[in-house]
Structure 1
Amino acid sequence: MSKGSPRIMILYASYGNGHLQVSHAIESELRRRGMNDVVLLDLMAEAYPLMYEINKFVYMQCFKNIPQVYGWIYDKTKHMQSDSPLGNLLHCLGMTKLKEYLLNEKPDLIIHTFPQAAVPLLARQAVNSPRNVTIITDFDLHGRWLHPGVDRYYVATDDLKSEAIDRGICSERIIVSGIPLMPLFDEPAEQLSGLPDGLTLDPDRKTVLLMGGAYGAMRNCDEICKHLSLEPDLELVIVCGRNDALCRRLTSLFKDHPNVHVLGYVNQIFVLMKYSSCIITKPGGITLSECIACSLPLFLYSPVPGQEHGNALYFEGKGAASISYEPEELVRQICALVRNPEAVNATRNRMKSLHKPKAAETIVDDLFKNLLHLNTELLGV
Structure 2
Amino acid sequence: MAGIYFHIPFCKRICAYCDFYRSASLARMDDLVAALHRELEDRSDWLRGEAVRTRYFGGGTPSLLAPAQIRALLDHAGELFDCSSVAETTLEANPDDLTPAYLDTLLAAGIDRLSIGVQSFDDACLLWMNRRHTAAEAVEAVRNARRAGFGNITVDLIFGVPGFGGDSLRRTLCQTLELGVQHISAYHLTVEPRTTLGRRAARGEFAPVDEAVSEEEFLTVHRTLTGAGFEHYEVSNYALPGFRARHNAAYWHGASYLGLGPAAHSYDGGRVRSWNVASLEQYLAGAPAETETLSDRDRFNEYLMTRLRTAEGVVLAEVEHLFGRERLARLLHDAKSSVCAHTLRTEDGRLAIPPERFLVSDAVIEALFET
Q: TM-score, normalised by structure 1?
A: 0.32
The structure whose residues are more often strand, as a share, is 2
In terms of fraction of residues, the more helix-rich structure is 1
Q: TM-score, normalised by structure 2?
A: 0.33
